[in-house]
């Protein structure tokens, strides 16, 4: 691209916040030129995303509905001594569906993959090798900032998609299975049935340490598959991920990392659900907020999203309190307590629609 060209709205990153922002702008503001610049080869984050229907408003649902690959009217929870089915509508979106949708919505010259980004400024991106991309404004939506001012816990996850020779007979998502002893701390399994033979199995551990044992999840999934009697199966995909769980700290200082006047989205801007680290539905809400913007200059974008991020951080203080219980070393008591409550209350927890009495009920069940 020629030096000095104005590319319009620049968005740095390749996660869900980037993908949904691009899709929303393409659908609702097609007159605004957008250029995506990511360091990975795919757009959307590279993993299957799970969410509850309660987390979506009408506008967010309309944006995400074309991407949803699976929907269920309930899910299972299994804790020591008790298993239950929860009537809670939920959905999953495949990473490939997001990537395909963005590439279909944008012309090839409007997205660049495999590009190392050195710095994001309010109206430009500096790339490795010295190239500078100029625009009206820029948004930094890369992964979370490692030079953090936040107090963090961690959610370490290992995922495996298996195709078994015979039906696995898991008809609904398994939101939590903590019946298998996993040593100290809180660790459990989750499963998504992709079809009768394919199953996405996830091993999750909440920890205070940023570093995870790279082999723990794989060993745990091997043992879990054997225990459930599914057979060996063919491994179609495997991945590992460590997501920060915000517990406290100086959020205003965190938002300024990497550019005091640069707009930030996704994990870089603190737009993730505290307990799970999921980018949805924050990514849908911020994408729609972007489409309502009239001024795409860097300063205006910064003010828009900094105010939203600060307000969201304040509103989620309750969730950070829950997460501290989750990480304090009492096994999975906190999340098992939450999952033992009535389904509408659990749905409102994830939908961030709890009243004061319900918050107290959740904290009591979690051991707080």
Domain residue ranges of the chain, discontinuous segments joined by +:
9-68+93-149+247-317, 150-243, 326-365
Q: What is the pLDDT of residue 214?
A: 85
182 within 8 A of 30, measured Cβ to Cβ: no
CATH no. of 150-243:
3.30.70
As a whole number of angstroms, the distance between CA 363 and CA 210 comes to 26
Under DSSP, is residue 355 helix (H, G, I), strand (E, B) or coil? coil
Asked if the domains 9-68+93-149+247-317 and 150-243 are classified in one and the same CATH topology, the answer is no
Query: The whole model's pTM is what?
Result: 0.94
- Residues 12-30 have pLDDT tens digits of 999 999 999 999 999 999 9
- Residues 349-364 have pLDDT tens digits of 999 999 999 999 999 9
When pLDDT is cut at 50, 70 and 90, the band that residue 185 belongs to is confident
Q: What is the DSSP string of 300-324?
A: HHHHHHHHHHHHHHHHTHHHHHHHH
As a whole number of angstroms, the distance between CA 216 and CA 183 comes to 11
Superfamily in which the 9-68+93-149+247-317 domain is placed by CATH = FAD/NAD(P)-binding domain (3.50.50.60)
Residue spans of beta strands (DSSP E) within the chain = 9-12, 34-37, 49-52, 70-72, 75-79, 82-86, 90-93, 111-112, 117-121, 124-127, 132-134, 137-140, 150-163, 174-177, 186-193, 198-207, 234-249, 263-264
Q: Which of 174, 198, 196, 177 is nearest to 186 (CA)?
A: 177
Q: Is residue 129's pLDDT more than 90?
A: yes
As a whole number of angstroms, the distance between CA 176 and CA 324 comes to 19
As a whole number of angstroms, the distance between CA 186 and CA 204 comes to 8
């Amino acid at each position: 691209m020629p030096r000095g060209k104005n590319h319009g709205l620049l968005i740095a990153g390749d996660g869900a916040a980037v993908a949904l922002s691009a899709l929303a702008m393409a659908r609702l503001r097609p007159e605004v030129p957008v250029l995506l610049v990511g360091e990975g080869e795919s757009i959307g984050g590279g993993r299957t995303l799970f969410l509850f229907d309660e987390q979506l408003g009408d506008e967010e649902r309309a944006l995400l509905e074309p991407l949803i690959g699976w929907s269920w009217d309930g899910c299972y929870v299994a804790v020591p001594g008790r298993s239950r089915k929860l009537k809670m509508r939920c959905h999953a979106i495949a990473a490939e569906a997001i990537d395909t949708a963005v590439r279909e919505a944008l012309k090839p010259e409007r997205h660049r993959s495999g590009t190392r980004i050195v710095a994001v400024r309010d109206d430009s991106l500096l790339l490795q090798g010295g190239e500078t991309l100029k625009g009206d404004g820029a948004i930094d939506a890369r992964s979370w900032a490692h030079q953090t001012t936040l107090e963090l816990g961690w959610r370490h996850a290992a995922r495996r998609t298996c195709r078994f020779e015979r039906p696995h007979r898991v008809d609904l998502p398994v939101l939590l299975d903590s019946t298998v002893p996993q040593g100290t701390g809180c660790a459990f399994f989750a499963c998504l049935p992709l079809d009768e033979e394919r199953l996405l199995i996830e091993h999750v551990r909440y920890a205070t340490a940023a570093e995870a044992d790279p082999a723990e999840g794989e060993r745990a999934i091997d043992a879990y598959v054997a225990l459930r009697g599914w057979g060996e199966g063919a491994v179609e995909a495997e991945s590992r991920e460590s997501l920060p769980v915000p517990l406290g700290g100086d959020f205003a200082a965190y938002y300024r990392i990497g550019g005091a006047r640069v707009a930030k989205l996704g994990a870089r801007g603190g737009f993730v659900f505290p307990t799970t680290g999921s980018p949805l539905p924050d990514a849908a809400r911020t994408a729609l907020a972007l489409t309502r913007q009239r001024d795409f200059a860097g300063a205006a974008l910064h003010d828009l999203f900094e105010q939203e991020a600060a307000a969201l951080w304040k509103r989620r203080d309750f969730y950070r309190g829950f997460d501290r219980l989750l990480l304090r070393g009492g096994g999975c008591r906190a999340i098992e307590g939450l999952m033992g409550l009535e389904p509408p209350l659990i749905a409102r927890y994830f939908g961030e629609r709890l009243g004061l009495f319900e918050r107290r009920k959740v904290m009591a069940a979690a051991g707080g």
